[in-house]
Chain A
Amino acid sequence: MNPNEPTREALLAALRTIMDPELNCNIVDLGFVLELECRKGIVEATMTYSSPGCPVQGILTSAAQTVLAQVPGVSEARVNVVWDPPWTPERITPEARARMGMR
């Protein structure tokens, strides 16, 4: 592995700084990040949101691209939004569910 390549943990840590404004939880713990790959400094993230009509998907996608591009070792960040498989609340981590008081 190239020592200059960012680690998956570093990429996820960057994405964890992005909070959904309504749920007040980061997008990783919400289960919005489906896949994360890095090859030769190019990061490709596959994401989804709670529904196609989610009003903040544009902002969250742009923010994800910004924070990924700022991680040392990343030369380019791409974010793809998909709707299949559809997001469900089960994708939220147990810790995040407990923090949000969810059933």
Chain B
Amino acid sequence: MGLAVLCLLGGVVLLLAWPDLLMAYHYQPRTIALAHLFILGWLLTMAMGAAYQLVPVAMATALWSPRLARAHFAVHVTGLIWILWGFATWQLKQVGHGGSLLFLGALFFLVNVDNTMDRARRLNVVSVSIATALFWLLLTMLIGLLMSFDRLRPFLRINPVNQAHAHAHLGLLGFFLLLVTGVSYKLLAMFLVGPGPSRTRPWVAYGLLNAGLLGTALTTLAGGIVRPAFALVTALGIVGYLWEVAAMVCAGRRRPDAAPIGFLAALALLIPTAALGGWVSVAERSDVALVARLENAYGFLGLMGVLTLATLSMGCKIIPFLAWFHAYGPHLGRRPVPAAADLFLPGVLQGSLLASFAGVFLATTGMATANFTVLHAGLFGLGIGVLLFALNVANAFRHMARPRLGPEPVKMDGFHHG
């Protein structure tokens, strides 16, 4: 997870250095390299790191193979550097090599997590969403490899830009959004002390999201007038999911604190993102500059708005919990230990979320209105937010390195005093 945060920081620094990328047409080497830094370096690394930690904890067992996890990390880092360098220098053969390593790493991850979960497999909307997300991840990576091969020896006969759009949607909606929806049903029930998801609505949302995604990807590749229809199906799936989330929030007994509020606010950004996506799918291409900017705003709002802000917000719960689990879990009941929330400084947490949200809002507005001043302000705000988040992560890691335990209880007259 440390690597993920470093990639996020690095990506935001590059955005601050090259803000013009967000105003220009997105299909160019530096933009694609930067997008993959955020997607593969930040989001995918974070998701996999969290899964390696949380799945064994939730299953009350050990990770099936720590050695395989270490091998995955080595392959993942190598593949990541290779693919980013390949994109940045537009050497698609190197993109293929790096992507192949990342695909191999994803297989390692799948085998490890699947075997860890084997002992306690339950069929419910959470586990099925996660399994489906992993399927879309592998498919997205395979398509990426085919795309890079196609650029070297053309055989797909599909417009490369359409390929890229389909690949992006499969990855961002198929893997990341489905993963977020599945995991959120579990996490919201836990953090809000409420019931789990209802019986029917999550499944309807799941079906609509997958059907819409598949249709969107196929019609993006093939072209055609029905693409907006599938975009609408996807939007209906999103509406169904948000309806379920709203119901869970209302049924929860505990008022959400900063992190769940941030998560819910990030999910709410699905609405303007879906609206932008819908508009882009039907827009006339006559005003090329406007369409390019709104396409960028759509991608930015989805990637940095929904997915990054949701991950940051939930990270503010998950990271201190995991750090607490490793640093203080074994000492619970034996010596006084801090609460998990103490591992993230509250003022820094709130500041990081506020700055990040404000930054994303301003940057998206700047892109949509072609206002460089507003864009710069937004990127600066996002940078501050990410930096504060990184500081809190470092604080949590410091607890792992040097736990702050209270004194051992002293036995006096047959009684323990802590």
Knowing A21-B340, A24-B341, A50-B190, the reply to whether A62 touches B254 (Cβ < 8 A) is no
Q: In the complex, which residues 73-101 of chain A have their Cβ closer than 8 Å to any Cβ of chain B?
A: 89, 92, 97, 100-101
Q: Is the CB of A66 within 8 A of B334?
A: yes
B97 at interface (Cβ–Cβ under 8 A)? no
Binds A, one of B2-10, B53-61, B83-91, B99-107: B53-61
Knowing A53-B58, A102-B253, the reply to whether A19 touches B418 (Cβ < 8 A) is no
For A57, list chain B residues within 8 Å (CB): 60
Q: How far is the CB of A56 from chain B (nearest CB, A)?
A: 7
- Interface readout for B323-359 with A: 1 if CB under 8 Å, 0 if not? 0110011101110000111000000000000000000
Q: Is the CB of A18 within 8 A of B332?
A: yes
Q: Is the CB of B332 within 8 A of A53?
A: no
Q: In the complex, which residues 20-63 of chain A have their Cβ closer than 8 Å to any Cβ of chain B?
A: 21-24, 50-51, 53-60, 62-63
Knowing A24-B339, A59-B325, the reply to whether A101 touches B255 (Cβ < 8 A) is yes
Report how far A84 CA is from B186 CA in the complex, Å. 20
Knowing A57-B60, A101-B255, the reply to whether A64 touches B193 (Cβ < 8 A) is no
Knowing A63-B332, A72-B415, the reply to whether A21 touches B253 (Cβ < 8 A) is no
Q: In the complex, which residues 43-67 of chain B have their Cβ closer than 8 Å to any Cβ of chain A?
A: 54, 57-58, 60
For A19, list chain B residues within 8 Å (CB): 339
Q: Is the CB of A89 within 8 A of B193?
A: yes
Q: Is the CB of B190 within 8 A of A59?
A: no
For B149, list chain A residues within 8 Å (CB): none
Q: How far is the CB of B62 from chain A (nearest CB, A)?
A: 11
Q: Is the CB of A55 within 8 A of B58?
A: yes
Closest to A69 in B: B333
B157 at interface (Cβ–Cβ under 8 A)? no
Q: Is the CB of B333 within 8 A of A62?
A: yes
B416 at interface (Cβ–Cβ under 8 A)? yes
Knowing A55-B58, A72-B415, the reply to whether A102 touches B254 (Cβ < 8 A) is yes
Q: How far is the CB of B184 from chain A (nearest CB, A)?
A: 14
Q: Is the CB of A64 within 8 A of B186?
A: no
Report how far A63 CA is from B329 CA in the complex, Å. 9
Closest to B418 in A: A17
Q: How far is the CB of A58 from chain B (nearest CB, A)?
A: 5
Q: How far is the CB of A18 from chain B (nearest CB, A)?
A: 6
B191 at interface (Cβ–Cβ under 8 A)? yes
Closest to A10 in B: B415
Q: How far is the CB of A24 from chain B (nearest CB, A)?
A: 5
Knowing A19-B339, A51-B189, the reply to whether A63 touches B321 (Cβ < 8 A) is no
For B324, list chain A residues within 8 Å (CB): 21
For B330, list chain A residues within 8 Å (CB): 59
Closest to B61 in A: A58
Q: Is the CB of B321 within 8 A of A22?
A: yes
Q: Is the CB of B339 within 8 A of A89?
A: no
B407 at interface (Cβ–Cβ under 8 A)? no
Closest to B414 in A: A72
Q: How far is the CB of B53 from chain A (nearest CB, A)?
A: 10
Q: How far is the CB of B187 from chain A (nearest CB, A)?
A: 10
Report how far A64 CA is from B254 CA in the complex, Å. 25
Knowing A22-B191, A53-B186, A70-B416, the reply to whether A59 touches B340 (Cβ < 8 A) is no
Q: Is the CB of B253 within 8 A of A89?
A: yes
Closest 10 CB pairs of A and B: A63-B333, A21-B340, A66-B333, A63-B332, A72-B414, A55-B57, A89-B253, A59-B329, A24-B339, A67-B333
> Which B positions have Cβ atoms within 8 angstroms of A?
54, 57-58, 60, 186, 189-191, 193-194, 196, 252-255, 317, 321, 324-325, 328-330, 332-334, 339-341, 409, 414-416, 418
> Which A positions have Cβ atoms within 8 angstroms of B?
17-19, 21-24, 50-51, 53-60, 62-67, 70-72, 89, 92, 97, 100-103
Q: A89-B253, A102-B193, A102-B255 are in contact. List 11 more A-B contacts (CB 8 A).
A: A21-B325, A21-B332, A22-B191, A24-B339, A50-B190, A51-B189, A57-B60, A59-B325, A70-B416, A92-B193, A103-B253
